[in-house]
Structure 1
Amino acid sequence: MPRAKLRTPELRDRVLRAAMTMLAEEGVTAFTARKVAQGAGTSVPAVYELFGDKAGLVREIFFEGFRRLRRRLEEDAPTDDPRADLVRVVQVFRAFVLENPVLAEVMFARPFAEFDPGAEDLRSAAAVRGFFVGGVERCVAAGRMSGDPTDAAHVLLALAQGMAAQETAGWLGTSQASADRRWDLAIRAVIDGFAPGSADPSG
């Protein structure tokens, strides 16, 4: 009889956990299927059977990153202050990137030549983007912001990505106070720039 294959959901989860740990500890350049297999106590063929190839494994890390970020964003219930809630969304995003810089690189950049996210892959980010859009929509409904919510949300998310990347690289100042101050300045500039009565941000 042929030997039974042990490619179980439990093994898949173990390989993914090992991959996430290795990526966080050793970075993109040291990431190999062989090291992941060793960390998970399995073989490279088993990793490939579970995920297809290295690109498939990176793709699953990409998806897992967005699942984790979404769970973080879901932890806070909305309050009666939509502007404060929108600022909190940005702050949660900031904290996630600072705690998971290499994972964030996989999610928002293209560090692996083997994996270039396509349109279908990028849909996994829609739920996270939805928190920004939903937050802006609440601000518009409350008269705190104006303009197209989707446009404003894209601008705010791009700002958060850029600021987080700068902070991760050490470019936002030499102290926590200076980094916090610059985040506050940037967030207020964007949100208040969409306030009713301000210059039309859409041009």
Structure 2
Amino acid sequence: MPRPKQRTPELAEQVLQAALRLLAAEGPAALTARRLADAAGTSPAAVYELFGDKAGVLRAVFFSGFEHLAQELGTPDPDAAGLDELHTLAQRYRTFIVAHPALSAIMFSRPFASFDPAPEEQAAGAAVRKRIVAAVKAAIKDGQLQGDAIDIAHAYVALIHGLAAAESSQRLGGSNATIQRRWNAGVGALLAGFAAS
């Protein structure tokens, strides 16, 4: 099968999808121009032309990761109480991080010295931040939580990342029931700590 020659948006998407597959299967070390080209059915020259360098590929992966996380979190349920929504969001966020550890590392841990997200990359997570802060504000408005919404959102996300890291490294328990119980206890305790008196 001949390799595509045109540097099109479709080819860029093929390379991005190949990067996501390689990342999931083999981790960050697999993201070389040659491996990406082979996986996408194109040439290393096309990868360089489309993305500039490895940092350009990582930038595209970074943006894609936040788009996927925003989709995973979904849209607000207008009928859900604020705390119910926060419990739901915690489980969806958890599902994403545990299912995509290598992608999450690029999004949140910066495992490559060659990729330091610029302000426009940092803004990629805006939809995720807004979604979580909106749920916290709804819980405050409902009288379920009290405090600064941004402070609560930061503590909430930090807890989710910590629990997800423990789960991913098999340090949160030996059974699904135990892991879920500890998730419920952690998220419940954090939200109870901010509960309105």
Shorter-chain TM-score above 0.5? yes
Aligned counterpart, 2:135: 135
Given that residues 70 and 128 in structure 1 are in contact (C-alpha distance below 8 angstroms), is that contact kept between their aligned partners in structure 2? Answer: yes
Unmatched 5+ residue regions in structure 2?
none
Deviates more, 1:137-146 or 1:113-122: 113-122
Aligned counterpart, 1:201: none
TM-score, L = length of structure 1: 0.91
The answer to whether 1:159 aligns with 2:153 is no
Given that residues 34 and 44 in structure 1 are in contact (C-alpha distance below 8 angstroms), is that contact kept between their aligned partners in structure 2? Answer: yes
Identity %, equivalent residues: 45
* Offset, 1:118: 2.6
**Residues in 1 aligned to 2:21 and 2:80: alpha-carbon distance in whole angstroms:** 38
Residues 31 and 14 of structure 1: CA distance in aligned 2, closer, same or farther (over 3 Å): same
The answer to whether 1:193 aligns with 2:196 is no
Residues 135 and 75 of structure 1: CA distance in aligned 2, closer, same or farther (over 3 Å): closer
* Offset, 1:109: 0.5
* Offset, 1:29: 2.3
Q: Which amino acid aligns with 1:64?
A: S
Deviations along 1:140-186, one digit per CA (max 9) or x if unpaired, are 00000000001100110111111111111111011111111111111
* Offset, 1:32: 1.3
Aligned counterpart, 2:112: 112
Deviates more, 1:19-28 or 1:116-125: 116-125
Deviations along 1:183-202, one digit per CA (max 9) or x if unpaired, are 111101111100112xxxxx
Given that residues 145 and 191 in structure 1 are in contact (C-alpha distance below 8 angstroms), is that contact kept between their aligned partners in structure 2? Answer: yes
* Offset, 1:14: 0.6
Residues 59 and 179 of structure 1: CA distance in aligned 2, closer, same or farther (over 3 Å): same
**Residues in 2 aligned to 1:36 and 1:170: alpha-carbon distance in whole angstroms:** 30
Q: Which amino acid aligns with 2:181?
A: R
Question: Paired residues, what number?
Answer: 193
**Residues in 1 aligned to 2:97 and 2:78: alpha-carbon distance in whole angstroms:** 22
Deviations along 1:55-111, one digit per CA (max 9) or x if unpaired, are 010110010000011111125633232211111011100011111111111111111
**Residues in 2 aligned to 1:76 and 1:103: alpha-carbon distance in whole angstroms:** 25
Aligned counterpart, 1:22: 22
SS in 1 for 2:30: coil
**Residues in 2 aligned to 1:30 and 1:95: alpha-carbon distance in whole angstroms:** 24
**Residues in 2 aligned to 1:137 and 1:76: alpha-carbon distance in whole angstroms:** 12
Residues 9 and 52 of structure 1: CA distance in aligned 2, closer, same or farther (over 3 Å): same
Aligned counterpart, 2:68: 68
Deviates more, 1:140-149 or 1:111-120: 111-120
Aligned counterpart, 2:34: 34
Q: Which amino acid aligns with 2:188?
A: R
Q: Which amino acid aligns with 1:166?
A: A
Aligned counterpart, 1:180: 180
Residues 92 and 125 of structure 1: CA distance in aligned 2, closer, same or farther (over 3 Å): same
**Residues in 2 aligned to 1:29 and 1:72: alpha-carbon distance in whole angstroms:** 26
**Residues in 2 aligned to 1:80 and 1:140: alpha-carbon distance in whole angstroms:** 14
SS in 2 for 1:29: helix
Given that residues 140 and 146 in structure 1 are in contact (C-alpha distance below 8 angstroms), is that contact kept between their aligned partners in structure 2? Answer: yes
Post-superposition, which runs of at least 4 consecutive aligned residues in structure 1 deviate over 6 A? none
